Amino acid sequence: MKTLTAFILLAVAPAFAAAPNVGVVDVAEVMTKYNKAIETKAGIDKSVQTSREAVAEREKELQSLRADLESTVKRSQDPILNEAGKRSLQSEAQIKQGAFQQRQNEYVQFVQSAQGTIQQRVQEMERQVVADVRVQAEKIAKDKGLQLVLPKAVTFFNDASLDITADVIKALNDAYKSAAPAPAPAAPAAK
How far, in Å, CA of 62 to CA of 45, rounded? 25
Which domain range does residue 137 map to?
20-175
Number of helical (H) and strand (E) elements in the chain, helices listed first: 5, 2
**pLDDT top residue among 20 and 90:** 90
Q: What number of residues does the chain have?
A: 191
Q: Which of 165, 161, 156 is nearest to 136 (CA)?
A: 165
Domain assignment present for residue 190? The answer is no
Domain assignment present for residue 186? The answer is no
Residue 191: is its pLDDT beyond 50?
Answer: no
What is the CB-side half-sphere exposure of residue 157 using CA atoms within 13 A?
A: 1
Please state the domain count of the chain: 1
- For 11-33, the pLDDT digits (tens) are 444 544 455 699 999 999 999 99
Long-range contacts of 104-109 (CB under 8 A, 24+ apart): 104/62, 106/58, 107/55, 107/58, 107/59, 107/62
Question: The whole model's pTM is what?
Answer: 0.68
How far, in Å, CA of 130 to CA of 138, rounded? 12
Please state, rounded to an integer, the average pLDDT across all residues of the chain. Answer: 85
CATH number, domain of 121, equals: 3.30.910.20
Name the DSSP letter for residue 191. -
Residue 7: is its pLDDT beyond 60?
Answer: no
- For 28-60, the pLDDT digits (tens) are 999 999 999 999 999 999 999 999 999 999 999
Domain assignment present for residue 9? The answer is no
Residue 168: is its pLDDT beyond 90?
Answer: yes
